[in-house]
Amino acid sequence: MAIEFDNNLPIYMQIMNYIKKQIITGQLKPGDKILSVRELATELQINPNTIQRTFQELERELIVETRRGLGRYVTSEETKIMEIKKDMARDLLDHFIQGMQELGFDKVDIVKIVTHAVDESKEE
């Protein structure tokens, strides 16, 4: 697993986003076991406390669940996974739109640019 950390965002949040992305792309499937704190900390070469914080937040958001004595598992709730996917898409769109507006594009221009880009990607 390779994550390039961004100094502008807490590491535990970056790991959360990475795990969420693995879930919504199907790399981690509903019910899959997640690496232990120690295994993930070793693999990413970061403090185990950071991984523990990541898992606590993922559990709080009901994305992973702890099974006593067995470890942590991805939620089996498909609706929760779809909710995560929509939230991540919304965040991407918000950042994109904000960036485009900062460049001086209005709503009509943004829609045209996106439509053109989607059309071009279909041709490839």
- With CA atoms as reference, report the closest residue to 13 among 56, 43, 62, 42: 56
- CA–CA distance, 28 with 87 (Å, rounded to integer): 18
Cα radius of gyration (the chain) = 18
DSSP state of 1: -
Directed axis angle between helix 37-44 and helix 48-60, to 10°? Answer: 120
Calculate mean pLDDT across residues 88-113.
95
Q: How confident is the model at residue 75 (pLDDT cuts 50, 70, 90)?
A: very high
pLDDT in tens, 21-61: 999 999 999 999 999 999 999 999 999 999 999 999 999 99
Global pTM reads 0.81
Which one is the CATH code of 11-76: 2.40.50.100, 3.30.70.870, 1.10.10.10, 3.40.50.150?
Answer: 1.10.10.10
pLDDT of residue 17: 94
- CA–CA distance, 95 with 69 (Å, rounded to integer): 41
